[in-house]
Structure 1
Amino acid sequence: MIVSERHTDQGLLVTVCDADVLGESFEDEERGVSLTVTEEFYGGEEATPEEVEETLARASIGNLVGEEAVALAVDAGFVAEPNVLDVEDTRHAQFLRL
């Protein structure tokens, strides 16, 4: 997985994506939803599942794309499964910790 961290006025923003979705676009025409996994937003460093979980634990905002990244976030309790969005051939989830 690829993880990046950015400090924002709202806290630590963490993005995580599966390596195979970086640079890809996904669309669900029925719901009018599209998602582009850009290098500018999702690009970062390769990380192990343990490193990703540690980084998400510090995040104020999490943005995740890909089967593996979203499954990790659900399994670790950062995101509830009903809040996961399926977009074409991938999964997307976000969380905000207040």
Structure 2
Amino acid sequence: MKVHINIIRSQGYVLINLCEEGLLGKRFRENDMVLDVNEKFYGGDLVESDYALGLIDEATVMSIVGSSLVEEAVKKGIVHKDGVREISGVKIAQVYNL
């Protein structure tokens, strides 16, 4: 599966933001929660999901958006199933390596 990847390096931290192809530029709302999959934060190169998720050891924080991508991260042991949230049917997760 192809995913957008945006790596932000700032003040010694590495934020790796991933979203499934097709979600970039969309906004999802549910009750008081809003998920804005904007170009500035999630836009970047289009790569294979295996490659993107393989960068977990380099990330201080990894933000993962998209149901299939999050499920893949759970299967690989990157995300615990209890750490998954869902907004309007779209799964999201964040991983912290502090």
**Same fold? TM cut 0.5:** yes
> Which residue of structure 1 lines up, in the alignment, with residue 29 of structure 2?
27
What do you get for the CA RMSD once the two structures are aligned? 1.3
> Which residue of structure 2 lines up, in the alignment, with residue 68 of structure 1?
68
Unaligned runs of 5+ in 2: none
**Structure 2 counterpart of 1:15, which letter?**
N
**Structure 1 counterpart of 2:17, which letter?**
T
Q: What is the TM-score normalised by the length of structure 1?
A: 0.89
CA distance in 2, matches of 1:93, 1:78: 10
CA displacement 1:55-93 (0-9 Å, x = unmatched): 223211011111122122212222111111110021111
> Which residue of structure 1 lines up, in the alignment, with residue 20 of structure 2?
18
Structure 1 segments of 4+ aligned residues over 6 angstroms from their partners: none
Q: Name the one with the larger strand percent.
A: 2
Question: Quick one: percent identity of the two aligned structures?
Answer: 25
Q: What is the TM-score normalised by the length of structure 2?
A: 0.89
CA distance in 2, matches of 1:12, 1:91: 22
* Alignment size in residue pairs: 96
Q: Name the one with the larger helix percent.
A: 1
